[in-house]
Amino acid sequence: MMVTAMNGVVFKLSPSIRAIPNRTFRAMPLASSSAPAALSSDPKLGPGSLGHITRPDFPILHQELNGKRLVYLDNAATSQKPAAVLKALQTYYEAYNSNVHRGIHYLSAKATEEYESARQKVANFINASECREIVFTRNATEAINLVAYSWGLSNLKKGDEIVLTVAEHHSAIVPWQIVAQKTGAVLKFVNLTEDEVPDVQKLRELLSRQTKLVVVHHVSNVLASVLPVDQIVSWAHDVGAKVVIDACQSVPHMAVDVKALDPDFLVASSHKMCGPTGIGFLYGKSELLSAMPPFLGGGEMIADVFLDYSTYADPPSRFEAGTPAIGEAVGLGAAIDYLSAIGMQTIHEYEVELANYLYNRLRSVHGVRLYGPAPSETVNRAALCSFNVEDVHPTDIATFLDQQHSVAVRSGHHCAQPLHRYLGVNASARASLHFYNTKEDVDEFIGALEDTISFFASFK
Q: In this structure, what DSSP letter does residue 139 have?
A: S
Q: Coil, strand or helix: which one is 79? A: coil
Chain centroid to CA 200: how far?
21
The arrangement of strands across the sheet holding 186-190 comes to 134-137, 280-284, 265-269, 242-246, 211-217, 161-165, 186-190
In angstroms, the CA 38 to CA 40 distance is 6
Dihedral through CA 327, CA 140, CA 149, CA 115, nearest 10? 20
Identity of the residue numbered 409: V
Q: Identify the bridge partners of residue 312 per DSSP, sorted by sequence position.
A: 302
Q: Coil, strand or helix: which one is 388? A: strand
User: H-helix or E-strand containing 226?
Assistant: none
In angstroms, the CA 342 to CA 82 distance is 13
Using CA atoms, how far residue 443 sits from 119, 166, 297, 312, in Å, is 39, 32, 51, 55
327 closest CA partner among 120, 86, 162:
86
* Distant-in-sequence, close-in-space partners of 430: CB < 8 Å, separation ≥ 6: 74, 76, 221, 222, 384, 385, 386, 387, 409, 410, 411, 414
Considering the candidates 131, 248, 385, 415, report the single residue annotated as catalytic: 415
| 415 catalytic residue (yes or no) | yes
428 closest CA partner among 411, 450, 445:
411
In angstroms, the CA 262 to CA 127 distance is 11
Maximum C-alpha span of the chain: 75
Using CA atoms, how far residue 250 sits from 246, 314, 339, 365, 375, in Å, is 9, 29, 13, 28, 17
Q: In this structure, what DSSP letter does residue 392 have?
A: B
Residue 107: Cβ within 10 Å count: 13
Residue 302: Cβ within 10 Å count: 16
Catalytic annotation, residues: 415
